[in-house]
Amino acid sequence: MIISISSIRQFKRCQRQWCFDQLFASAQVKNNPLRREAHILSQFQSLAAWRGNLVDQVISGKLIPALLKGWSLRRETLLAHARSLFDKQLAFALRNRVREPGMRIKKAGDSFAALTMVEYGNKVNEEAIAQAWLDVERALTNLLGMDELCNLLRSADQLITQRSLLYSHFQVHFRAVPDLIAFFDEAAPLIVDWKVHAKGIHDYRLQLFAYAVALTRCKPHKDFPASLSRWSATDIRLLEVQLLTKQQREYQPSEDDIADIDDYVAETAVQMVMAVDGRSTREVDPFDFPVTANPEQCQWCAFHRICSEEAKCQEPEQMTLL
């Protein structure tokens, strides 16, 4: 079983949603339409989540490579690239093209997007879409204006984005995917986490501490520097960047913080393992798992259609599946 900070939070929020998303959904199973449908539904996002992911795409695909090469990237160039992606992905999502027969994320490329509000027939709010673009524009503009951070990243020997870090813990594998890892010749590595929240009132130290642990315990990728072995999790520099508020939060984990992360992951891993009770993904039944105690969560859940007791009683062929 592979878990992450986000899947732990999902498990604590709603075990049935976690099961649908992490265990049950499958694009490969051909003789179980419900599992295929769960896979499709797992692709859908809220408008806020989509615009945040788009900002990550632009930073990883355009800004970071420019910084690594020492180039100066003009605001107009970066925003033009972002606007092109925004328009392509919005058009893809509004047409709900994820439902096209044979559609795959790789096939769609950087045009892929899927919005929960479109899937569930909710009215597409033009003002909300306009605000989403303004948020993208402001986030990228603010980042370009963070001269000290940009200069620090330019000084790095390596800048690696969206790299999966995997290590074993208790009876599970823990996976972390930091937005950015910066390696330096002499200084300890820096992990940066981009956030696109209007208020930015919640800090994400727990997630960043978990990233530090994963970086120092994972099997290093081939392009990771050999000097990584010099550093422990408490050495790793951590930076949360709230792109809409320009707030930067620096963290340095202590030994107690690392112990707390280990306990947090292990405790939830025990609960997950017990909930699965030795069943394979072929044997697991999402309806054996309890739903959230907060019914308001259901209206935002992409699996709402197949989660109800009525859906449980239907034969898979009776559902509207791809």
pLDDT tens across 13-41, in order?
999 999 999 999 998 887 889 999 999 99
Place of tokens 């509004």: 94
CB atoms within 10 A of CB 165: 23
Which tens digit of pLDDT belongs to each residue from 172-209? 899 999 999 999 999 999 999 999 988 756 778 999 99
Q: Tell me what percent of the residues of the chain surpass a pLDDT of 90.
A: 78
> 55 is in which domain, residue-wise?
34-145+290-318
User: Strand, helix or coil at 247?
Assistant: strand
Identify whether 167 is part of a domain: yes
Instruction: Identify whether residues 87 and 179 lie together within a single domain.
Output: no
Same-domain status, 312 and 265: no
Looking at the structure, do residues 97 and 61 belong to the same domain, yes or no?
A: yes
Q: Which residue matches tokens 């179980």? A: 32
Same domain assignment for residues 170 and 261:
yes
The pair of structure tokens assigned to 98 is 């994820």
Alpha-carbon torsion 87, 93, 96, 99, what sign?
positive
Mean pLDDT value of segment 202-220 = 93
Q: Are 61 and 125 found together in one domain?
A: yes
Residue 118 to residue 229: CA distance in whole angstroms: 47
78 with 56, same domain: the answer is yes
Same domain as 173, residue 71: no
Q: Is residue 219 part of a domain?
A: yes
Per-residue pLDDT tens over the stretch 245-303 = 999 999 999 999 999 999 999 999 999 999 999 999 889 999 999 999 888 888 889 99
State whether 123 and 165 are in the same domain: no
**Residue 127 maps to a domain:** yes
Report yes or no: 157 and 184 within 8 Å, Cβ to Cβ.
yes
pLDDT tens for each residue of 240-252: 999 999 999 999 9
Name which of 41, 8, 17, 48 is nearest 27 in CA terms. Answer: 41
Instruction: Give backbone dihedrals phi and psi of 248, rounded to 5 degrees, phi first.
Output: -120, 130
Rounded to whole angstroms, how far apart are CA atoms 160 and 65? 9
How many domains is the chain partitioned into structurally?
A: 2
- 103: helix, strand or coil: coil
24 inside domain: no
Under DSSP, is residue 125 helix (H, G, I), strand (E, B) or coil? coil
DSSP string computed for 149-188: HHHHHHT-SEEEES--EEEEETTEEEEE--SEEEE-SSSP
- For residues 264 and 298, state if they share a domain: no
Sheet holding 2-3, edge to edge: 2-3, 172-176, 165-169
CA distance 261 to 258: 5
Q: Which residues contact 185 (CB under 8 A, 6 or more apart)?
A: 157, 227
The CA dihedral of 251, 256, 258, 259, to the nearest 10 degrees, is: -160
Residues 117 and 188 reside in one and the same domain: no
pLDDT category, 70, cuts 50, 70, 90?
confident
pLDDT value at residue 319: 45
Q: Per the structure block, which two tokens stand in for 170?
A: 């208790």
Q: Tell me whether residue 244 is in a domain.
A: yes
Q: How confident is the model at residue 237 (pLDDT cuts 50, 70, 90)?
A: very high
Question: Are residues 125 and 49 both part of a single domain?
Answer: yes
Q: Residue 154: count other Cβ atoms within 10 Å of its Cβ.
A: 16
Residue 17 lies in a domain: no
Q: Is there a single domain that holds both residue 203 and residue 243? A: yes
**Sequence-ordered alpha helix ranges (H) in 20-73:** 33-41, 47-58, 64-68
Q: For residue 141, is pLDDT > 70? A: yes
pLDDT > 70? residue 318: no
In-domain check, residue 4: no
Integer Cα distance of 207 and 174 in angstroms: 12
